[in-house]
Amino acid sequence: MDDNRIINETAALLPDKNRNSKSPATPWLQISIVLLLLICEPITGQSIYPYINQLISELDITGGDERKVGYYAGLIESLFFATEAITVFHWGRISDYVGRKPILLIGLFGSSLSMLCFGLSRTFWALVLSRSLCGLLNGNIGVTKSVVGELTDSTNRAQAFALMPMVWASGTTIGPMLGGTLSRPQERFPHSFRGTFWKEYPYFLPCMFISCLIFVPFVVTLVFFEETVPKSKPSDAFSVEEPPVPLRKLLTFPVVVSVSNYMVMAFLNIALIALMPLFFAIPVKLGGLGFHPLLIGCIFGSYGIFTGLFQALCFAKITGCLGDRSAVIIGTWAYLPVFMAFPIMGIYAQRFGVTFVIWIIVAVIIVLMAVMDMAFGCIFMFITASAPAKRSLGAVNGLSQTTVSIARAIGPALSTSLFSLSVEQNLLGGHAVYFILLFLSGLALLLAAQLPHQMWEEHGDST
């Protein structure tokens, strides 16, 4: 991705009131820093996907039964979001009072520390503690959206939020590729990693590398990020005379509908993301494809690259032509053919092996997943516009991330456990999980239809 192009685009997004600020360079620098922060979460979260199933097997948690790997892998993948759900609203709420910068720094520190702990974990409970630590200390996903909402207005917010899925997609490219490429370095790079340490901790290298990577935006934020919640000027939109809206007044109809759609979309998305590496890794005889972690990482990397390009080149044109509501509905609809593709691939691979037909279907899935991600940029705008007051933006985003974190905690555990249960009990030929997710996707379409044809009126008129 061209950093200069992103800087130019973000600079063009900003409202005139920011351009006329004391430091003209500050606004685009602020959003550029936010984008740098945003990329850390998908890198941290998804870097474990290529090797988590193999790690569970090697720790002998399942007693050698590969059919049970999904239960434990799903639990580990869910823990970050389960613990994040406990604290993310409070981080967003606190940021309305103390500012965004301290919360962002705490989140980056928590992510970096938890990755080091994860790489050094050799028991199931050590894995549990390290992933829980990351979720408890990280409220950045909600706070970064608040910052973008504060630096933009209704005339340029669509372009700003269009950059966020693109940057997120870059993280989903980098994370799995690092996880898949750097795992088990003693086997892949025997001349450089000879010691017994790398044999005992075969997944520490990707965790250490990512932890160091996160340290860069930590320093950038500490030095260059300027607080977006001033408290001293009475004339300011964030003056102390305008206190944050109480929690009970946040639950307006626009907030509830917008947040509910985000929650359902996030649930389906994380269920799919958790299911894919398990399906790819499980042997063909059990209904999967039997891929190596490196190959799984490359597939996820390809998805991230394509999604980033799609968001950069097509998002603004599609939403401008069809509207935000239609884009959400189309993105939700895309889950239906994707979930149908898994049993088709599983049955085909058992009968004919992994041929070019499988790779064609995988390519189609990647394209449809890019269409799904388009819906997230739109729903972010619905949520931002639904806030009853600008001073409550952090709380609204914190509320949305709390519900989404709960959904993302349930999603991986549910989808991977249903996968293992379907295989163990041979439910619907081992494919019951896909039909359950198809049904839930249909319900999500009904909820998306409740969004208004026009965006909520901003701050104060959305009740």
**DSSP per-residue string spanning 405-438:** HHHHHHHHHHHHHHHHHHHHHTGGGGTHHHHHHH
For every residue of 180-220, DSSP letters joined together read HHHSSHHHHSTTT--SHHHHH-TTHHHHHHHHHHHHHHHHH
For residue 90, the tally of other CB atoms under 10 A from its CB is 14
Question: Distance (Å, rounded) from C-alpha 404 to C-alpha 258?
Answer: 12
Architecture (CATH level 2) of domain 22-226+250-448: Up-down Bundle (1.20)
Domain boundaries, the chain: 22-226+250-448
- Answer whether 0.85 is exceeded by the pTM: no
Instruction: Give percent helix, percent strand, percent coil of the chain, each to the nearest 5.
Output: 80, 0, 20
State the Cα–Cα distance between residues 382 and 145, nearest whole angstrom.
Answer: 12
Q: Are 128 and 220 in contact (CB under 8 A)?
A: no
Instruction: Encode the chain (463 residues) as per-residue pLDDT tens digits.
Output: 444 444 444 444 444 444 333 343 456 678 788 888 888 888 887 788 788 878 888 887 777 676 677 677 777 877 877 787 788 778 877 887 888 888 899 889 988 888 999 999 888 888 888 888 887 887 787 788 788 777 776 666 666 776 777 787 778 778 888 888 888 888 888 888 888 888 889 999 999 999 999 989 999 989 888 887 766 544 444 444 455 566 677 778 888 888 899 999 989 988 898 888 888 888 888 888 888 777 887 887 788 788 878 877 887 788 778 888 898 999 999 999 999 999 999 889 888 888 899 999 999 999 999 888 888 878 888 887 887 766 677 778 788 878 887 887 788 778 888 888 888 888 888 888 899 999 999 999 999 988 887 776 644 444 4
d(C-alpha 108, C-alpha 158), whole Å: 26
265, 270, 273, 279 alpha-carbon torsion, rounded to 10°: -110
